[in-house]
Amino acid sequence: MSALSASFRNVKWYLKDRVTTTPVKAFNALISGQLAPNKNFSMNKDQISEGDHLLFFNCPENAGLSPDGYFEYQTPRSLLRNQNLVYNRRMWAFGSMDFKSPLQENREYICQETVRYLKVLKNDVYVGINRAVMDAETGLTAVDEQRTLIYTQSALSSLQTSSPEEVSDYSSLPLTFDDCSIFRYSALTYNSHRIHWDRFYCRNVEGYKDIIVQGPLMVHIILKYARFGLGLTVTRVKYKNMHILYPGTAVSIGVRHVSPKQQEIELKDSTNGRVYCKLSMDVK
């Protein structure tokens, strides 16, 4: 994997937001019905917990949109100032989150975004972004997030060639994502990416069968289950979004206990065991 030009490395973006419980309550209400069948699940709907920073810092000023409806400013074309770098699709692929201190209600935070790397592999470009969420008053970092987006020219069929995972023997909780939950999460996170709401675009431009579930939504709901279903406080998580998930697919959240301080949680197909999203968590 070779690195492309690093001329963008000194560029930083700052997204300021005040953390309130309003979007947190909305998201908790959205998922509580899904997770409630777990008899041990008890959610404080006002409580800000790990992963809730995803509900904030999603509105960069003066950022234009690409034809796919998502922000243009961190695409390879924009970063390298090369209008010929046009990619068929982008995907929120993998990353990590370090939760250093809880977000506090009614406090202002600044999310500093920096491009860590931009690498090319065959027809794909990987853009790695660091997002440091800092208390606007003290400057202390509350969340340190690394995320990687893939920009690709590959046909959709070539992106889905990996085989299903073997079904593991561990506890699980069934759930599904419907059109409304996908739309509502996009609304909560100011995400206008067409692959999450525009069926015509999905089928006729990017070649999907349907709209698809957001990568952040899969990660976010698993983190909520870890906190309120398993009673875990997550200090660090590494995640990977492994397959496209369509609405209506029967999936389950499965937990594998690695050690007292580490858990693996997967969102997997209830029929064939295919893993859509996998998280490895450091907990306390």
Quick one: average pLDDT of 203-210? 95
Within 8 A by CB and 6+ apart from 239, the residues are 94, 95, 96, 97, 219, 277, 278, 279, 280
Segment 86-108 shows an average pLDDT of 95
Lowest pLDDT segment from 30-34, 47-51, 143-147: 30-34
Of the pLDDT bands very low, low, confident and very high (cuts 50, 70, 90), residue 121 is confident
Between residues 5 and 130, the one the model is more confident about? 130
Q: What is the pLDDT of residue 39?
A: 58
| pLDDT bucket at 149, cuts 50 / 70 / 90 | very high
Q: The tokens of 51 are what? A: 């992963």
Three-state SS for 22?
A: helix
pLDDT value at 170 more than 60: no
Q: What angle do CA 176, 209, 175 make, to 5 degrees?
A: 5
Residue type, 272: N
pLDDT at site 4: 47
Quickly state the pLDDT bin for 171 (edges 50, 70, 90). low
User: What's the length of the chain?
Assistant: 284
H/E run at residue 237: strand 234-241
pLDDT digits (tens, 9 = 90+) for 228-246: 888 899 999 999 999 999 9
| pLDDT tens track for 17-44 | 999 999 999 999 999 878 876 656 677 7
| pLDDT over 70 at 166, yes or no | no
- Give 100 or 173, the one with higher predicted confidence: 100
Whether 162 has a pLDDT exceeding 50, the answer reads: no
Q: How far is CA 29 from the centre of its chain?
A: 19
Domain total of the chain = 1
The parent domain of residue 229 ranges over 2-283
pLDDT at 60 exceeding the cut of 50: yes
pLDDT in tens, 262-282: 999 999 999 999 999 999 999
Confidence class of residue 61 from pLDDT cuts 50, 70 and 90?
confident
Give the DSSP per-residue string, 95-155.
Answer: EEEEE-S---TTEEEEEEEEEEEEEEETTEEEEEEEEEEEETTT--EEEEEEEEEEEE-S-
- Residue 50 sits in a domain whose CATH number is 3.10.129.10
For range 74-99, the mean pLDDT? 92
